[in-house]
Amino acid sequence: MSLELNQLTKKFNENTAVDDINLTVPTGSMYGFLGGNGAGKTTTFRMILGLLKQTEGTITYNGKPIDYSVTNRIGYLPEERGLHPKLKVEEQIRYLAQLKGMSKKDIDVKLDEWLERFEVPENRDKRIEKLSKGNQQKIQLIASIIHEPDLIILDEPFSGLDPVNVEILKRSVKELNSNGATIIFSTHRMEHVEEMCEELCILNHGAQVVSGNIDKIKSDFGQKEIIIEGD
Ligand code: ATP
């Protein structure tokens, strides 16, 4: 049971954004994609999500080519946050949850639960534009995972957040993982991956530098700090 990327490649004209990625994300794991600007993290995620067609290679989920029945349910936190500034928090989450096919009854229950867990219950009647960046990020994450998907992809979930919100987000993401979701996230920072994941893939200019078990990679590299170019 896993998500597998085989010889996954994406070219934009002459630019090879993702170059022959081969890796396995075990079901139920937390998997980190580490890389600097332009490393190919978002492009890889967009191919998994079916938003971009790969130039070469395959993506399989639990042994079958990934298709809309899977991609439609993936919980996705995009790097460009897509909230509507004029909507109230509750309206925004309800709107996005309905697009995921949730019933009003389910949304009623889950909305309270997730606002509590992310420590933003008092914000439900505020307009998005009135929230801090950290709280906006939390609202976007709630909207991405409120339907409780099996697979969650988070594109730089911790970027631009203050340390308190980073901790709240990390705790919530760990909770989602211990409740059974497979989580993939990207970051520029090794410390996030070390704290959260057992496995990672390091990308550099589209190429897979190394992937697999973090402890093994660290001992193979023979150093604690792995410097990410472009960070
Ligand atoms: P960042 O941390 O800055 O978000 P990233 O690792 O997510 O970086 P990508 O956004 O996947 O990197 O970009 C990888 C490469 O692909 C870059 O050279 C980028 O300019 C290029 N690229 C991404 N999307 C497109 C596109 N739609 N058209 C052309 N080139 C693109």
Please report the pLDDT score of residue 222 as a whole number: 63
Note whether ipTM > 0.90 here. yes
* Residues near 145 by beta carbon (within 8 Å), at least 6 away in sequence: 75, 114, 152, 176, 181
The number of the ligand 1 atom at minimal distance from the alpha carbon of 206 is: 14
The number of the ligand 1 atom at minimal distance from the alpha carbon of 37 is: 3
Give me ligand 1 centre to Cα 43, in Å. Answer: 6
Distance separating alpha carbons of residues 54 and 66, to the nearest angstrom? 12
Give me ligand 1 centre to Cα 115, in Å. Answer: 32
Distance separating alpha carbons of residues 216 and 173, to the nearest angstrom? 24
pLDDT in tens, the chain (231 residues): 799 999 999 999 999 999 999 999 999 999 999 999 999 999 999 999 999 999 999 999 999 999 999 998 999 999 877 899 999 999 999 999 998 889 999 999 999 899 988 877 778 899 999 998 888 888 999 999 999 999 999 999 998 888 988 998 899 899 999 999 999 999 999 999 999 999 999 999 999 999 999 988 888 776 545 555 554
Please report the pLDDT score of residue 231 as a whole number: 46
24 vs 142, 201, 231, CA distance in Å? 27, 10, 25
Contact 98 CB / ligand 1 (< 6 Å): no
Tell me the two tokens of residue 198: 């057992």
Q: Which tens digit of pLDDT belongs to each residue from 162-182? A: 898 899 889 989 999 999 999
Please report the pLDDT score of residue 30 as a whole number: 97
Please report the pLDDT score of residue 225 as a whole number: 56
Give me ligand 1 centre to Cα 117, in Å. Answer: 33
Distance separating alpha carbons of residues 186 and 48, to the nearest angstrom? 14
Which residue, judged by its Cα, is nearest atom 11 of ligand 1?
40
Tell me the two tokens of residue 64: 């079958």
Please report the pLDDT score of residue 84 as a whole number: 92
205 vs 34, 58, 105, CA distance in Å? 12, 20, 46
Distance separating alpha carbons of residues 218 and 200, to the nearest angstrom? 11
Distance separating alpha carbons of residues 136 and 126, to the nearest angstrom? 11
Contact 40 CB / ligand 1 (< 6 Å): yes
Give me ligand 1 centre to Cα 41, in Å. Answer: 8
Contact 12 CB / ligand 1 (< 6 Å): yes
According to DSSP, the residues that pair with 186 across neighbouring strands are: 33
Q: Within 13 Å of residue 146, how many CA atoms lie on the same side as its CB? A: 33
Give me ligand 1 centre to Cα 207, in Å. Answer: 13
Q: What b-and-e string marks burial along 126-164, b requiring 16 or more CB atoms within 10 Å of the CB?
A: eebeebeebbbbbbbbbbbbbbbbbbbbbbbbbeebeee
Distance separating alpha carbons of residues 207 and 150, to the nearest angstrom? 28
Which residue, judged by its Cα, is nearest atom 3 of ligand 1?
37
Please check whether residue 142 is in contact with residue 118, taking contact to mean a CB–CB distance below 8 angstroms.
yes
Can you give the pTM of this predicted structure?
0.91
Which of 42, 48, 55 to mutate for ligand 1's pocket (most ligand atoms within 8 Å of CB)?
A: 42
> Helices 163-178 and 133-145: crossing angle, nearest 10°?
10
